[in-house]
Amino acid sequence: MCRIEIREQEFNADFIRAFFPKLDYGVLKSTLESLGDDSLKLDSVEDIDGQPEDFLRLLHKVLLEMDVTQGEMTCGNCQHKYQINEGIPNMLLGADEI
Amino acid sequence: MKFLLVFSQSLLDFRLAELDSVVEVLNLDLSRPSDENVDLNSACLVVDIGSEDGARALAGRCVLIKHIIQIFAQGSSYDDLHENNKKAVHLWKVYTDKTFAFNVEAAYKSIPKERRMNIINAFSYMQFTAQVNFKKPYIQYEVFEEHKADINSDVDHAHTYAPRLFHRVYFGRFIAFGQRSLVPKFDVKKRAYFGNTSMESEVTVLMANQALARKGTLIWDPFVGTGSMLYLCAYFGSYVMGSDLDGRQMRGQPGKQHTGHPGSRAGGILSAAKDYGVLDKFLDLFTADVTRIGWRTGGTLDAIVTDPPYGVRAGAKRIGLKQGVEYKESYSAQPRPPTQDYDLLNLTIDLVVMSAYLLKRGGRLVYFLPTVNEEYKETDVPTCQGMRIIANSVQDFGKWSRRLITMEKFEDIDTDDSLQNILSNIDINTADKNVSHSNFREKFFRAFEPLEEQIVNQ
Ligand SMILES: C[S@@+](CC[C@H](N)C(=O)[O-])C[C@H]1O[C@@H](n2cnc3c(N)ncnc32)[C@H](O)[C@@H]1O
């Protein structure tokens, strides 16, 4: 079961633009889709500075405002499941996994 | 323009570091005397600031500044002051037809009322033509006497009760109060949520300033505990994230109403953030072992601000098995994986190296390092490629101290290099014996006595 909350934030386009190069957009898009949200339409983004404000606002919402409060993340590599409880993901590995 | 900064008499060694950081974060045009020419035992520092707005902005960020005065004149005696003030008519002439008030103060001393009146009357040559207005004066004149510790006295010169001698007197007008009021505002005891290692509010303001917290920057505390530093970073506008090995620390006891009693744990970090009106700045909290942080992308953070566990109240731990213990299947069923001890020496090295990777260029690592006074050498503070120390401010507790270390990342490093190559001043093979903060917990509990004596005493 998965629960999502929105925590509103003042929009900051500069922050999103500066952060974008550090982001794997494809992974963000597929993660969002796995939460049942297909609002990110573009398949890839070449030039963030050329994007309209609407797109930046969308990224802002996904990155800064959406909070998965209940759910789990599965590692694509080792299949470890990281639980999210009360908004706090548990990123600890077991002693056998390190 | 010349301004007098009147400082609080706490945390003397943090004063210039805070001033310099705030000048940087606000991009102020300020020049101050070099470190050797600053007497920290005096409450006064005269600086040049490009504009009055600059002085106000400075006051708006510094917790160690009590207030700021624009200087009209100064002197080594009152006669000297008045002589100089008469030459400075161009600075004050514009105010003499405005409602006014006078405030006469001295650092460390109270001036009796009668003397205060005499001091004020001596300014009558300025020919004030407007009314005195104590409540809302257009201009508040300030007379400030600087008293310095008597160098012939054997009382610690930094001590509030050290005998002091008149040194200088300044005259000018009040510009703004500093941020002393943040100390009660963020007082841990009044917070919706705190624990037994929560950092006191005055220091958290200093840490947020050292981290250059400001709008649009991203700050992380990897030993977040109850979140003390993040509230201030968020208050100054940064986005913040926190993580801790212990998830309960961050969550508090949701669902339960916070009672307001000392030691109350209900609510968690987010409820306190909400009370302070900074909830929107909290991007995320997560449970993680700082030695196993999964972030694959470096150069993302503007600052890492943290108070690592030094093991006095609760030792540092990391996920893993204790030496000599073998892994058992049953461990995987436990809610929390087993942990092993994690010495401060390795912890600080890891923190610095991790920062060299995760910070942006120009980003800062701000953290507390406890040290043993008798053994401490400046080179104990670990550095590594790409990171340099900008400030090292000490708070002395007698036999030990804690040092607020501020480092800046100035270039990217090759993280595939071996740890020893990345470290610049620590030899990992011998550090255990040479560095004063290694085995800090053990040293603390034997009251910092040399090991041999302890054994004899027992
Ligand atoms: C001194 S406390 C921090 C207190 C915090 N500044 C506050 O105001 O509440 C240190 C914290 O480090 C956490 N800790 C210990 N070992 C850790 C590790 N390996 N990784 C992450 N956190 C750890 C502890 O759970 C504790 O909450």
* HSE of B326, CA atoms in CB hemisphere, 13 A: 2
The verdict on pTM exceeding 0.95 is: no
Number of H helices, E strands in chain B: 15, 16
Q: Please give the CATH topology (third level) of the domain spanning B1-178.
A: VC0802-like (3.30.2130)
* Segments making up each domain of chain B, as ranges: 1-178, 183-441
The two tokens of residue B336 are: 């929390």
DSSP code of residue B43: S
Residues of chain A neighbouring B292 (CB-CB closer than 8 A) = 91-93, 98
At residue B205's C-alpha, the angle toward residues B204 and B208, to 5°, is: 85
To test the contact with chain A by mutation, choose from B286, B300, B357 the residue with the greatest count of A C-beta atoms within 10 A, namely B286
B345 CB-contact burial (10 Å; exposed 0-12 / middle 13-18 / buried 19+)? buried
Task: Tell me the CA distances in angstroms from B227 to A38, A62, B87, B250, B382, one per residue in order.
Answer: 34, 24, 53, 7, 25
How far does residue B301's CA lie from ligand 1's centre (Å)? 19
End-to-end CA distance of chain B: 64
Residues near B163 by Cβ (< 8 Å), separated by ≥ 6?
B149, B150, B153, B155
Residue located via tokens 């620590």: B426
pLDDT per residue, tens digit, chain B (458 aa), is: 999 999 998 999 999 999 999 999 999 999 999 999 999 989 999 999 999 999 999 999 999 999 999 999 999 999 999 999 999 999 999 999 999 999 999 988 889 999 999 999 999 999 999 999 999 999 999 999 999 888 788 877 777 777 888 999 999 999 999 999 999 999 998 887 888 888 999 999 999 999 999 999 999 999 999 999 999 999 999 999 999 998 888 888 655 554 444 444 567 899 899 999 999 999 999 999 998 888 888 999 999 999 999 766 566 788 887 777 776 766 666 667 788 888 888 899 999 999 999 999 999 999 999 999 998 998 889 999 999 999 999 999 999 999 999 999 999 988 788 888 888 778 888 877 778 788 777 777 777 776 654 444 44
**Which is nearest to A89 in space by CA: B319, B293, B278?**
B293
**Which is nearest to B237 in space by CA: B214, B221, B270?**
B214
Residues framing ligand 1 (Cβ under 6 A): B 195, 197-199, 222-223, 225-226, 228-229, 244-246, 249, 289-291, 307, 309, 316-318, 342
Residues near A28 by Cβ (< 8 Å), separated by ≥ 6?
A40, A62, A63
CA distance B58 to B176: 9
DSSP code of residue B14: G
CA distance B290 to B284: 16
Which chain A residues have any C-beta within 8 angstroms of a chain B C-beta? Answer: 7-10, 12, 14-15, 18-19, 22, 64, 67, 85-96, 98
Angle at which helices B201-210 and B228-235 pack, to 10 degrees?
A: 60
Task: Tell me the CA distances in angstroms from B417 to B348, B414, B430, one per residue in order.
Answer: 18, 6, 20
CA distance B384 to B393: 19
A14, B216: Cβ pair inside 8 Å? Answer: yes
Residues near B79 by Cβ (< 8 Å), separated by ≥ 6?
none
Q: Residues of B numbered 332-361 whose beta carbons fall under 8 angstroms of chain A's beta carbons: which are they?
A: 332, 336-338
Prediction ipTM score? 0.94
CA distance B451 to B443: 9
CB B254 within 8 A of CB B268: yes
Domains (range + CATH), chain A: 3-97 (2.20.25.10)
Task: Tell me the CA distances in angstroms from B409 to B299, B363, B367, one per residue in order.
Answer: 10, 6, 14
Count Cβ neighbours within 10 Å for each residue of A47-74 and write b for 16 or more, e otherwise.
Answer: ebeebeeebbebbbebbbbebbeebebe
Q: Please give the CATH topology (third level) of the domain spanning B183-441.
A: Rossmann fold (3.40.50)
